[in-house]
């Protein structure tokens, strides 16, 4: 029989996840500010450094409106960090892609994010793989794969 109360362990895990997310965004915003970017601009640049993509896909990944993404990409383009180019698969679609300067900035942002990297480095490969797999299960296995 299901209960409406949440057990203490679940409550603690949820609280810890919330703390990790808050600290991640705090550090991401600080790293972005060091490059005179907003956190949202830095997140878009980071996504694009993995692969060029259309505004609609960026919006889906960031869970926001495409019109918001267009404004962010416009500002990144003005700074010379992003460019729009035709999609080779469908020339009617424009892809946002990092410029060389944008790719370098995205790498510098990633390199400056030490909050999660340092504690994760202290875990064994097996522990990191287990954590990854548990997080994927929590997300219904919809997490991006980089392995």
The string of pLDDT tens digits covering residues 17-68 is 999 888 888 888 999 999 999 999 999 999 999 999 999 999 999 999 989 9
pTM of the predicted model, to two decimals?
Answer: 0.76
Look at residue 72 in the predicted model and tell me its pLDDT. 96
C-alpha 23/C-alpha 25 separation (Å) is 6
Domain at 25-137: CATH code: 1.10.10.10
Look at residue 145 in the predicted model and tell me its pLDDT. 59
DSSP state of 144: P
C-alpha 139/C-alpha 19 separation (Å) is 18
C-alpha 127/C-alpha 132 separation (Å) is 9
The string of pLDDT tens digits covering residues 94-138 is 999 999 999 999 999 998 888 767 777 888 999 999 999 998 998
The string of pLDDT tens digits covering residues 60-100 is 999 999 899 999 999 999 999 999 999 999 989 999 999 99
Of 61, 48, 98, 51, the C-alpha closest to 77 is 98
Look at residue 1 in the predicted model and tell me its pLDDT. 45
């Amino acid at each position: 029989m299901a209960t409406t109360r949440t057990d203490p362990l679940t409550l603690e895990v949820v609280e810890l996840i919330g703390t990790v997310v808050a600290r991640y965004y705090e550090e991401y915003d600080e790293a972005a500010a060091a490059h005179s970017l907003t956190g949202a601009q830095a997140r878009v640049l980071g996504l694009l450094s993995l692969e060029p993509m259309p505004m609609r896909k960026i919006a889906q990944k960031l869970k926001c409106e495409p019109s918001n993404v267009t404004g962010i990409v416009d500002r990144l383009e003005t700074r010379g960090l992003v460019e729009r180019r035709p999609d080779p698969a469908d020339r009617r679609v424009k892809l946002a892609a990092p410029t060389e300067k944008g790719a370098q900035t995205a790498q510098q942002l990633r390199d400056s994010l030490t909050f999660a990297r340092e504690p994760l480095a202290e875990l064994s490969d097996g522990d990191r793989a287990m954590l990854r797999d548990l997080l994927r299960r929590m997300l219904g296995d919809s997490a991006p794969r980089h392995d």
